[in-house]
Structure 1
Amino acid sequence: MPQHDHQLHEGESLKSAARSRLETKGEQWTGMREAVFEALAAFDRPASAYDIAESVSKTQDRRVAANSVYRILDLFVGANLARRVESSNAYVANQHPDCLHDCIFLICDTCGQTTHIDDDRLSGGIRDAAHDTGFAATRPVIEVRGTCSDCQDG
C-alpha cells in the first residue's frame, strides 16, 4: 500500500506543529485556539464540538459555547490541523498537519475508535472515477465502518 512519508506528531510536538502550520497560513495561535486544539488532541476517539466545548469549559472554569468551537474547528480543518469524520459529525487532530492528503477513516461501530490511514491508490482511484464522470473531487473522504481488532478479540 503506498504510504506518505511524514512525521507523526504527538503531545507538545503535535501542538508545536499545529501552531506552526496555523501561523504559516496567516492565522494567529490564540489562547482559545490552543485550548480547543489541546482538548481535541486529548480525545482518543473523534470528538464533537460539544465534547470539546465541555472539555475546554472545565479546564478554563467558564462556559465555552459549542458555536465558538465549531468556528475554530472549521479553521483547523481548513488549515489541515484537524480532520472531520463526516458520518459522526466529529473531529480528530491531524497528527501530521504539514502533509496534505485525502482522508480514509476506519471507524469501529462498537467502541468508536477511528483510525486514519493513507492509501494513494484508493483515494487516487476515487479521484479517477470522479474525473471519468466529469466531476472534480476536491476533497475525497472515505469512511469504512466495521469492528476494530480490539473489539473483535474481546
Structure 2
Amino acid sequence: MSGHSHQEHSGEDLLAAAQNALTGNGEQWTGMREAVFAELARHEIPASAYDIADNLSQARGKRVAPNTVYRILDLFVRTNLANRIESANAFLVNTHPGCHHDCIFLICDDCGKATHLDDERVTGALREAGRDAGFADVRPVVELRGLCEDCAN
C-alpha cells in the first residue's frame, strides 16, 4: 500500500471541501450542484443518477430530470468530487475532494457497498503499461468485485 495520505471529510466539512474544490477548478457551486452533491454524499452505496433525481424530485416537490443530474455528476467526476463505479453505472462521493489519485474500488456483490483503497504500485504499473502501449493521459479504473467482510461472515 502506498504512503499516500489524504484528508477524509464528512458532513458540512465535506460540502465545504467539495465547494472549494469545484470553485478552485473555475466552476460555480450552484444550488442544484450542492443538492446533487449532498444527496450523493447521503448514500453509503453507489447511487445512480436516477436514484438521485428521484430523491431530489421528492424533496423539492418538482421533477428533477435525470439528464440534469447526469451532467452534474459528470462534472463532479471530471473535477474529482465523485467517482464513477463503471460496473454499476453509479456514482460514489469522493470523501477527499481535491486529492487526485487513482482509486481501486472494492464492490460487494451482495450488499452493494463500495470502498476504495490506494495502491500506487498497482495503478502506477497500469499507467505505465498504458503509456508503453502508446496511450496518453492514462487513468486507471480498477474495480474488484467480491464479498465484503460483513457479507462473507
Instruction: Name 1:110's counterpart in structure 2.
Output: 110
Q: For 2:25 and 2:76, how far apart are their aligned partners in 1?
A: 11
Superposed counterparts of 1:86-101, under 5 Å: 86-101=86-101
Give the gaps of 5 or more residues in structure 1.
Answer: none
| 1:137 positional shift | 5.0
How does 1:1-154 map onto structure 2 within 5 Å?
1-136=1-136, 138-153=138-153
Q: For residues 61 and 100 of structure 1, do their structure 2 counterparts lie closer, same or farther at Cα, with a shift above 3 Å needed?
A: same
Moved over 6 A (4+): none
Structure 2 length as normaliser, TM-score? 0.96
9-18 or 132-141, which deviates more: 132-141
Change (3 A) 1:47 1:5: same
The worse-fitting range, judged by mean Cα deviation, of 95-104 and 12-21 is 95-104
Q: Identity percentage over the alignment?
A: 59
**8 Å contact kept, 2:130–2:138:** no
Q: CA deviation at 1:58?
A: 1.6
Aligned-partner Cα distance in 2 for 1:78–1:136:
17
User: In 1, are the aligned partners of 2:53 and 2:65 still within 8 Å (CA)?
Assistant: yes
Q: Which amino acid aligns with 1:42?
A: R
Q: TM-score, normalised by structure 1?
A: 0.95
State how many pairs are aligned.
Answer: 153
**Gaps spanning 5+ residues in structure 2: where?**
none
